[in-house]
């Protein structure tokens, strides 16, 4: 078990900042630009920020929970951090790539680790058509919104919207409606990870819709296409006894 150099980054909360100060006094840490591992101190939101921040470097991220839920984090323990980082097991995730075209003809792209979500901007329900790999599967979904979630994101917003939890490695994405009005019986779908999903906003001027990929929001969209980008690898490190696959299975048996 070889030691790996690591750098510490912390969310902007007193608990996380204090933890970083204590750990820096205790361990010989590296610079964030040269470290072999980034240790992120915070909650799940900060883990997403850290993954986005270091995405181009493709450096593994080891999180320690200084937040609330900490689903993507390891337990915060100060003892033996160097040994834990060296023994940690990697889970490789691929983000979703969103392309959003707005009603005024502009286009933008963004990556999402958890989900891409479309939400109504006004008091009126959104009307959205959904195509999978070029085949229209739903001509009109009347709803507050709809989202497409990765396995890592399936326990977050997707679960709150009553979508399914997806095990890591299942090669699936969750397509989940948000407060569907018509058809009311539709509860969503499980799609192959390789699928390209296209959302067309119907009556976009009258019923405006925004699209969000993690932290990137695009307002007044007319068309949004989403696919998994397998050219981008995101490596999360977990203690062997608390790996991400075990957490996702355990989450499905919570009362």
Residues identified as active-site: 44
What's the 3-state SS for the chain?
CCCCCEEEEECCCHHHHHHHHHHHHHCCCCCCCCCCEEEEEECHHHHHHHHHHCCCCCCCEEEEECCCCCCCCECCCCCCHHHHHHHCEEEEECCEEEEEEECCCCEEEEEECCEEEEEECCCCCEEEEEEECCEEEEEEEEECEEEEECCCCCCCHHHHCCCCCCCCCCCEEEEEEECCCECCCCCCEEEECCCCEEEEEECCCCCCEEEEECCEEECCEEEEEEEECCCCCEEEEECHHHCHHHHHHHHCCCC
- Cα–Cα distance for residue pair 151/197, rounded to 1 Å: 16
For 29, the token pair is 């840490």
- Cα–Cα distance for residue pair 85/77, rounded to 1 Å: 12
């Amino acid at each position: 078990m070889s030691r790996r150099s690591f750098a510490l980054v912390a969310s902007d909360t007193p608990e996380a900042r204090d933890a970083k100060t204590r750990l820096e006094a205790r361990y010989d840490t590296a610079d964030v630009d040269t470290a072999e591992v980034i240790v992120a101190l915070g909650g799940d939101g900060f883990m997403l920020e850290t993954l986005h921040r270091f995405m181009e470097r493709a450096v593994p991220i080891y999180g320690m929970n200084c937040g609330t839920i900490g689903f993507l984090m390891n337990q915060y323990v100060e003892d033996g951090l160097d040994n834990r980082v060296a023994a940690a097991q990697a889970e490789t995730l691929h983000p979703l790539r969103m392309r959003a075209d707005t009603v005024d003809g502009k286009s933008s792209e963004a990556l999402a680790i958890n989900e891409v979500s479309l939400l109504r901007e006004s008091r009126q329900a959104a009307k959205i058509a959904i195509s999978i790999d070029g085949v229209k599967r739903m001509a009109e979904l009347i709803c507050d919104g709809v989202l497409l979630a990765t396995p890592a994101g399936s326990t977050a917003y997707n679960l709150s919207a009553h979508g399914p939890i997806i095990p890591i490695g299942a090669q699936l994405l969750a397509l989940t409606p948000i407060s569907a009005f018509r058809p009311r019986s539709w509860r969503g779908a499980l799609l192959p990870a390789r699928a390209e999903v296209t959302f067309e906003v119907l009556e976009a001027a009258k019923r405006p819709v925004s699209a969000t990929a993690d932290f990137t929001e695009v307002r007044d969209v007319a068309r949004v296409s989403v696919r998994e980008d397998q050219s981008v690898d995101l490596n999360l490190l977990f203690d062997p006894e608390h790996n991400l696959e075990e957490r996702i299975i355990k989450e499905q048996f919570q009362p």
